[in-house]
Amino acid sequence: MTSYWLGIDLGTTYTAAAICWPAADGLEVQAVPLSNHFHAIPSVLFLPGDGSLVVGEGAQRRALTDPDRVVREFKSRVGDEIPLLVGGSSYFAHDLAAEFVSWLWHRVVEREGERPEGVGLTCPASWGPYKTALFERAVREAGLDNVTLLSEPQAAAISYASRERVEVGATLAVYDLGGGTFDAAVVRKDSPTSFTVLGRPEGIEGLGGVTFDEAIFEHVCAAAGVPLAEIDPDDPDLVAEVARLRRECTEIKEALSADTDATILVALGGVRQRVRLTRAEFEEMIRPDLDRTIEAMHRALGSAEADAAELDAILLIGGSSRIPLVSQLISAEFGRAPAIDTDPKVAVAMGAARFGAPAAAPVHDTLETQVQLPAGEAPPERPEVPGMLDAAGDDEDGLVAPAPRRRKAVLGAVAAVLLVLAGAVTALRTPALSDLLSHHASAHGTTTSSGAGAGPAGSAAPSARADAKRSGGTIGAAQSATSGPTAAGAKPKGAKSNGSKSGGKNGATGHGGSSAPQPDGNNAGGGSGGGGTPVHGTTSPAPVQSQSSVPVTTPSSSTPTPTASPAATTGTGGGG
């Protein structure tokens, strides 16, 4: 990978990252696996006090044994002048957020082997200039350069536009329900690569997945009879049990997005009780908070002077937006189904990665790639025909060379064909047989093609050398001799132009008199019946003659052709 751009979405409860690099057909974007199970990692820090840092799932595990050195939800405290007390030391929230981003940046650089060309870092749209400048300065002081801040709704719109067609001038509403905050904003696509936030975004602090986790925690504790007021916060065993129960409440919340009910084991203090929670009960707990998000969405639309009916799409981002009740409320309130990303936890990070990357130019066709196959498809393999070689392109007869292992059989078949044809030529010279064939052709109303004319003594005159290469001639010879190729040469007297089955329809003039002579080599009488290639030569023109319907294969060019004076003949049919 020569160059790439990094996108980071620092969330209140989860953080995701993605990289973007130029490809042949545009830009490729891929989420960075930050943990063993998921692309996103918990936004949790563990500060052991020795200057080191533990991030994500490792920090969550240490919260069970050393909770006073673990800090969560520091993003929601950015801009707060009161520092956080972690392990007896004071830290500002924006500094902790910058350290988290710096750790993630080094993790990606170690994985990719080089520094990114630029970094797109998201922040809530509800942040004002003070919080934005404070966060940006802290990130720069942490040692990161080429960092650009953009709002989460902008990144979400960029990600959506990379999957769906969004015209310039389109208006999108973004409903961002994350772990700790809710944001609603309206964006407009001003150019093929940029979105602008319209009006004033609306945000609700302290409303998100954490709020719903707390509602489930209080519900199951009340159902199990746990006296929360009597729990000693200094008891390490009870603190570990509370942390474990809260984590299980988060898991049951996520499970209820797919299942209609779930059961949780409450083991806290001296209580051991299983509590069953249904989706209907959970939705009843969080409905008042979700109603507040719908009101905030209306305020954002009003500030942007946008009508809900004129929106091109409503985007749902944030992990908590996957709760089924969210989609139901939006559909009922705004009269349209929202667009839900398959993984809303990484959609914003993927949009942030695309934000700084230049648009790649399309690939132009070249001489070596005249035919463009669909992406991912390999060109079809050319079928191999055993026992045959390629036809000689410059050979006038267009013969196919037999394989060496079949040469003896083919030579024997050719000899047999020549003997049969020689006998046929001799038999056709007999006046009685010629008259019989002419009578047979007249009885069946067969029209003629340009062949040999009948002489005064009943013998056939030579035909014009119409040795246009016809597929029917080759096939007929192969059927007569079972195997082996046949050479197309001069036709014997009275022989039918093999392969010209439509010659009687398209070639015979049949005006009740002599047929007009046809130029040699243009497949006279059968020019539209087989697509043969004309063979150029100097021969005398041949009149039309009655022809037998019995197919006689033309002999090899080595067979001598008898000569005679051309004679006029009368057409027997007017064209079939």
The predicted structure's pLDDT at residue 169: 94
Contacts of residue 525, Cβ cutoff 8 Å, sequence gap at least 6? 448, 449, 450, 451, 497, 500, 503, 504, 506, 507, 508, 518, 544
DSSP letter string, 520-560: TTS-TT-TTSS-PBP---------B----SS------TTSP
pTM: 0.61
Q: How many CB atoms lie within 10 A of CB 96?
A: 23
Task: Tell me the domain boundaries of the chain.
Answer: 5-209+283-356, 414-508+517-576
Pick from 280, 142, 126: nearest CA to 204 = 126
Q: Terminus-to-terminus CA distance in the chain, angstroms?
A: 71
Q: Going by DSSP bridges, is the β-strand pair 54-55/41-42 parallel, antiparallel, or unpaired?
A: unpaired
Cα separation, 132 vs 182, in Å, equals: 17
**H or E stretch at 94:** helix 93-112
The predicted structure's pLDDT at residue 470: 39
The predicted structure's pLDDT at residue 132: 95
Q: How many CB atoms lie within 10 A of CB 367?
A: 5
Amino acid at the residue 8: I
The predicted structure's pLDDT at residue 315: 95
Contacts of residue 375, Cβ cutoff 8 Å, sequence gap at least 6? 25
Amino acid at the residue 551: P
Structure tokens at 363: 């690939």
Facing residues of 448 across strands? none
The predicted structure's pLDDT at residue 491: 40
Tens of each residue's pLDDT in the chain, 576 residues: 568 999 999 999 999 999 999 888 788 999 999 887 778 999 999 999 888 899 999 998 888 888 889 999 999 999 999 999 999 999 999 999 999 999 999 999 999 999 999 999 999 988 989 999 999 999 999 999 899 999 999 999 999 998 899 999 999 999 999 988 899 999 999 988 889 999 999 989 889 999 999 999 999 999 999 988 888 877 878 888 898 899 899 999 999 999 999 999 999 888 999 999 999 999 999 999 999 999 999 999 999 999 999 999 999 998 899 999 999 999 999 999 999 877 778 899 999 999 988 764 333 332 232 333 333 434 334 333 333 333 333 443 333 333 444 445 556 666 666 766 766 655 555 554 445 444 444 444 444 333 333 343 343 433 333 343 333 443 333 333 333 433 334 443 344 434 434 344 443 333 444 334 444 444 434 444 444 433 344 344 444 343 433 343 444 444 444 444 434 333 433 343
The predicted structure's pLDDT at residue 252: 95
Pick from 522, 526, 520: nearest CA to 547 = 526
Looking at domain 5-209+283-356, which of 3.30.420.40, 3.40.50.300, 2.60.120.20, 3.40.50.2000 is its CATH number? 3.30.420.40
The predicted structure's pLDDT at residue 84: 95
Question: Residue holding tokens 């707390």?
Answer: 214
| 70 and 45 Cβ atoms separated by less than 8 Å | yes
CA distances from 518 to 450, 522, 526, 527, 568 (A): 7, 8, 11, 11, 13
